[in-house]
Amino acid sequence: MTSATASRIVSVEDTPQGIRSVYDTLKTAHARLERFAWLGDELAIAIWQRDGGPEMTSYLEPGHHTLSCYLDGGYRTERETMPGIYGAPSRLCALPGEHESRWWVPAPMRFMHIYFLPGHFTRRAVVELDREPRELTLADRTYFEDPQMAALCLDLAQRDWEDADARLYANETVHELLNRLLHTQSARAPSNPRGGLSPSARRTLRDYIDAHLDSAITLGELARVANLSEFHLARMFTLSFGMSPHAWITERRVDRARHLLRTTDLPLDQIASQCGYADPSHLSHRFRGVLNVSPGRYRKVLGPDNPAR
């Protein structure tokens, strides 16, 4: 992808304001965008090359989280509030959407950014950590080292993202990165959440939904499981799960479909049935809405018979 093409992509009208602000900030700091791609699931990835002499660069509450990995250079780059601590290839930074920072960049460098929304921690917090999403946030970390995460970033940097299959592979790799980020770089939110479901009720509903994804699940059914009215269940569910019951169930169905496509040879009609979809066409419609790729293509690229995975 040429720089001109990348610049045109990130300046389109539907690009989130936060990413446009990062783009504008780096552009004024003599950074050149080498490559950029939307990966599906509201994830984006970019590689930047900074040329030129010493410069102070500032970021002001971009609104999205950023994972940064230095690819080349950065040896004397430092954050204003952390003098004497310098960057280097393979060092990582986790920058929350609400952060503000100033950086002294004295020399050329090359780095990767992965942009994601705070909501990407939502399902992982509930399913993997048994925590409410509002209890957690991304920790602000500068120049931490994680060999596994760095290796995934370097692998992404060496791959092509232009065609649909390459972007799909990158999407899955970024999800691996976010999973590790949640487990290693999450922090307790500054305020104690009030309201919502008890931990035991949250677990009961989570497990009930996962056990019944192959059937229709109604709000009344969930309310009976939690021993609440439909009105209170909907409100408290959203507080504790970070999304409405309908949105949560939809996400979990797509998650199950992705897992089955990656790990089994089940025909699409069986996968659709196990995920609560009426037929493969319904599954395909939902799946394309998330990843912009058909279930069949997803399996071909990332399924059990693909040696790349």
Question: How does pLDDT run across 88-136, given as a tens digit for each residue?
Answer: 999 999 999 888 999 999 999 999 999 988 888 888 889 989 999 888 8
Residue 262 CA to residue 89 CA, distance in Å, equals 32
pLDDT at site 8: 36
Question: Encoding tokens for residue 215?
Answer: 């059937």
pLDDT at site 54: 86
Mean pLDDT of 16-41: 73
Judged against a pLDDT cut of 70, whether residue 198 lies above it is answered with yes
Torsion of CA 11, 12, 13, 16, to 10 degrees: -60
Mean pLDDT of 198-206: 95
- Residues 136-188: tens digit of each pLDDT: 889 999 999 999 999 999 999 999 998 889 999 999 999 999 999 999 988 88
Pairing mode of beta strands 31-40, 43-50: antiparallel
Residue 44 CA to residue 41 CA, distance in Å, equals 9
Nearest to 290 by CA among 253, 261, 260: 253
What predicted TM-score, i.e. pTM, was given to this entire model?
0.86
**Domains along the chain?**
3-188 (2.60.120.10), 199-302 (1.10.10.60)
pLDDT at site 6: 38
| DSSP code string of 133-188 | GGGEEE--EEEE--HHHHHHHHHHHHS--SSHHHHHHHHHHHHHHHHHHHHHHEEE
What is the distance between the terminal CA atoms of the chain, rounded to a whole angstrom? 25
Average pLDDT over the chain, rounded to an integer: 87
Farthest-apart Cα atoms in the chain, separation: 65
pLDDT at site 75: 94
Instruction: Supply φ then ψ for residue 148, to 5 degrees.
Output: -65, -45
Instruction: Supply φ then ψ for residue 73, to 5 degrees.
Output: 75, -155
Specify the residue for token string 């503000």: 100
